[in-house]
Structure 1
Amino acid sequence: MVQKILMICLGNICRSPIAEVVMVDTLAKAKIEGVVVDSAALGSWHVGNRADPRALSTLKKHGLDSKHIVRQIKKQDFTDFDYIFGMDEDNMSQLRSLAPKGSKAELLMLGDFGLNAKDRIIEDPYYQSGAEGFETAYQQCVVACEAFVKQRLQK
């Protein structure tokens, strides 16, 4: 059975596309097949665009690439996906309010896997001037994705 994972952040140009690529890489390294990973935005501002150049640069620095085109989350995602991850408490609150009754997706905060309580929020690096925030988000995603895969997907 194919499992489906959806990464969510506010605009789908920083954190969630990084998390999507990191999760795909983590699954490949763990030799886990049959998992589909995608990402989407809560808001519609960037629909049709690529990820922020700083996010793409951070991924490239780590030998990874993203071809993702921004899309907004839709009601059907709550039925189609097994896991929907938010990056912070605001994301989680919005996801809970958008989830239709009886949706199958388990709503989780990515940082609840492998990160300590003080580092569990994956902060939005969009408004920071440099690449440091993107690198921090990338590193948090690596730890959280590895922990999630070990806890939930490895037999």
Structure 2
Amino acid sequence: MTYRVCFVCTGNICRSPMAESVFRARVAEAGLDELVEADSAGTGGWHEGEGADPRAAAVLQEHGYAAEHTARQFQAAWFARLDLVVALDSGHLRALRRLAPTEQDAAKVRLLRSYDPAVGVDDLDVPDPYYGGADGFVECLEMVEAASTGLLAAVREQVEGRAA
């Protein structure tokens, strides 16, 4: 049975596509790509159908990650098929939990940086790089990469638990 993860930010053109791409690479490196599926979406639909922000795509490509992406808006109905919904900041976390049809669905929503043991509880947001320069996208990628290791470990534990 496939374990499904969806990364969510505001418009699905910067942070969440970066997180999706990095996590897909981690999943493939771990040999779990047959068991774990990752995608992304935004809390809003302003950019539906667009590609990733060119600065996000450039940073991904510079660091060896895939950059192909089409933005879409997260839908409440998706909770039924998802195992984990990963919010990029606390605003997304609150919006997604309000959108969740059930308490069990709301419990599926977690902050990405909560999977980074080096991060304190007061610093769990991945800042939106959209209104800044290229440095913000590099910083975003670094935060995503740091959290993806812990996220992969947590997902691996869930996948192995299902197989047992």
1:50-104 superposed Cα distances (whole Å, 9 cap, x missing partner): 0100000000001112221001001221111100010111010100111112554
Distance (whole Å) between structure 2 residues aligned to residue 83 and residue 131 of structure 1: 29
Tell me if the contact between 2:13 and 2:47 (Cα under 8 Å) persists in the aligned partners. yes
5+ residue gaps, structure 1, are none
Residues 66 and 103 (structure 1), Cα distance of their counterparts in 2 relative to 1, 3 Å cut: farther
Distance 2:39 2:67 in 1: 11
Q: Percent identity?
A: 34
Alignment size in residue pairs: 154
**Partner of residue 6, structure 1:** 6
The Cα offsets for residues 34-55 of structure 1, whole Å up to 9 and x where unpaired, read as 1110000101110000010000
Alignment partners' CA distance in 1, 2:77 and 2:156:
23
Q: Is the counterpart of residue 93 in structure 1 residue 97 in structure 2?
A: no
Q: Partners in 2 of 1:79 and 1:102 — Cα distance?
A: 12
Distance across 2 between alignment mates of 1:50 and 1:12? 9
Counterparts of 1:152 and 1:2 in 2: how far apart (Å)?
A: 11
Letter in 2 for 1:111: R
Find out whether 1:122 has 2:123 as its counterpart: no
Shift of 1:32: 1.5
Distance, in Å, in 1 between the alignment partners of 2:88 and 2:6 is: 11
Q: Superposition RMSD on alpha carbons, in Å?
A: 1.5
- Which residue pairs with 1:109 in the alignment? 111
In structure 2, what is the Cα distance between the partners aligned to 1:120 and 1:135? 17
For the 8 Å contact 2:113–2:124, the answer to whether it is kept is yes
Q: TM-score, normalised by structure 2?
A: 0.88
- Secondary structure of the equivalent of 2:49? coil
1:152 Cα offset (Å): 3.4
SS, match of residue 76 in structure 1 = helix
- Distance in 2 between residues matched to 1:97 and 1:89, nearest whole Å: 12
Instruction: Name the structure 2 match of 1:76.
Output: 77
Q: Which TM-score applies when normalising by structure 1?
A: 0.93
My pick for the range that moved more, 140-149 or 7-16, is: 140-149
Paired letter, 1:7:
F
